[in-house]
Amino acid sequence: MSRRLRVVQWTTGKTGSAAVRGMVGHPVLDLVGCYAYSPDKVGRDVGELCGIDPIGITSTDDIDALLALQPDCVSYMAYRPNFDHLERILESGVNVVSTMYMMAGFGYGEQATHRLRDACLRGGSSLYASGIYPGHAPMVALAASAMCSRVERLSVLESLDISGYANEQMFRAQGFDLDPDDPAAREACEASCGSFKDQIPVLANALGLRLDGVGFRVEFATANQDTDLGYMTVKKGRIAGFKGTVSGDKDGRSLIECSFVWKLGEDMTPNWPVTHGYVIELDGVPGVRVRLEPQGDHLDGTVTTAMPAVNAIPLVCAAPPGIVNLMDLPLVRAAGQFRP
């Protein structure tokens, strides 16, 4: 792709702000507009909203005005999807990259998938979802599988103390700080794993494996005392950690596993060890183990979540219409960003 691409950022939360910072000075992408969900962000300079110097672009909630900018792509990173907005964007011919739960498109249910796919086909646009996990970590797993003559099991583990991500809304929706005996705790955690359920068939299809179904299992760790994180408190005896797996099952065996250990702090029982990153394991011939460890101050996850979507924009703009996943694109990479 030789011409520069015009991008509208959709919201400037934690991930969206990292996306904006990643687009300023980008070799191919020009940020031309920004949608604000929060009324108090409307009319403010996007750079200032994202913790950098002003960049001369003002946030707006006027969708017509944003589409009139004729963007090539929207970088959609809202907390929850607004399907009316997404449909309008896609059917107007604008591509979308997102960190939301739509790798195969089914993270929000079949109805949403059909609606989005139809909008893509009407508009001739593409929708691509990525992030670090789901997203990039499974892509690394597939790349590693190229070394195997036989694969017997594939697992990807995210194992983190996520308290640095500072997202009370998200953590409460996942079931943190609930009573472990409350049936809502397992339901909340499973509901927040829609992304992994969406990702399993992408991995299975990529490896030519036909699954019987997708399973879910989870254990809880409870806080040993009230834990004040600054943005929320996890009370003593309430859920402070999850250890779980979404599995792609065949013949009663769990063959593809998207696992997670998520902890808010360290003072909990049981206190599972964390590896502060991603561990990919392929059992087979040969077995392969890969550790993916973002370094330095990017451990908060926002940059590593945003950039697999941002760096895919040129490839998504060149992709055929529809919901595309990592199997439909050339290798997503930091093209043009080698700056020694």
Ligand X SMILES: NC(=O)c1ccc[n+]([C@@H]2O[C@H](COP(=O)([O-])OP(=O)(O)OC[C@H]3O[C@@H](n4cnc5c(N)ncnc54)[C@H](OP(=O)(O)O)[C@@H]3O)[C@@H](O)[C@H]2O)c1
Interaction site with ligand X (CB under 6 A): 11-16, 36-38, 41, 77-80, 99-100, 131-135, 167, 169-170, 305
CA contacts within 13 A on the Cβ side of 283? 8
Helix 302-310 and helix 14-23, axial crossing angle in degrees, nearest 10: 50
265 versus 301: smaller Cβ distance to ligand X: 301
Find the shortest distance in angstroms from Cβ 268 to ligand X. Answer: 22
Nearest residue to the partner ligand X, using Cβ? 131
Which residue bears the tokens 């591509």?
Answer: 95
Q: State the Cα angle at 228 between 225 and 229, rounded to 5°.
A: 130
Q: What whole-number distance in Å separates Cα of residue 101 and Cα of residue 209? A: 22
The helices-and-strands tally (H runs, E runs) of the chain is 11, 16
Find the shortest distance in angstroms from Cβ 253 to ligand X. Answer: 27
Q: What whole-number distance in Å separates Cα of residue 295 and Cα of residue 302? A: 13
168 versus 267: smaller Cβ distance to ligand X: 168
Find the shortest distance in angstroms from Cβ 323 to ligand X. Answer: 15
5 versus 78: smaller Cβ distance to ligand X: 78
Find the shortest distance in angstroms from Cβ 273 to ligand X. Answer: 22
115 versus 122: smaller Cβ distance to ligand X: 115
**Which of 11, 26, 1, 2 is CA-nearest to residue 310?**
26
13 versus 151: smaller Cβ distance to ligand X: 13
Q: What whole-number distance in Å separates Cα of residue 313 and Cα of residue 45? A: 23
How is residue 152 written in tokens?
A: 């017997």
Find the shortest distance in angstroms from Cβ 228 to ligand X. Answer: 20
Find the shortest distance in angstroms from Cβ 338 to ligand X. Answer: 24
Burial 227-249 (b: 16+ CB within 10 A, else e): bebeebebeeebbbbbbbbbbbb
Find the shortest distance in angstroms from Cβ 181 to ligand X. Answer: 27
164 versus 287: smaller Cβ distance to ligand X: 164
Find the shortest distance in angstroms from Cβ 87 to ligand X. Answer: 15
Q: What whole-number distance in Å separates Cα of residue 128 and Cα of residue 117? A: 11
59 versus 151: smaller Cβ distance to ligand X: 59
**Radius of gyration of the chain, Cα coordinates, nearest whole angstrom:** 20
Residues 193/158, Cβ–Cβ less than 8 Å: no
151 versus 242: smaller Cβ distance to ligand X: 242
**Beta bridge partner(s), residue 260:** 158, 244
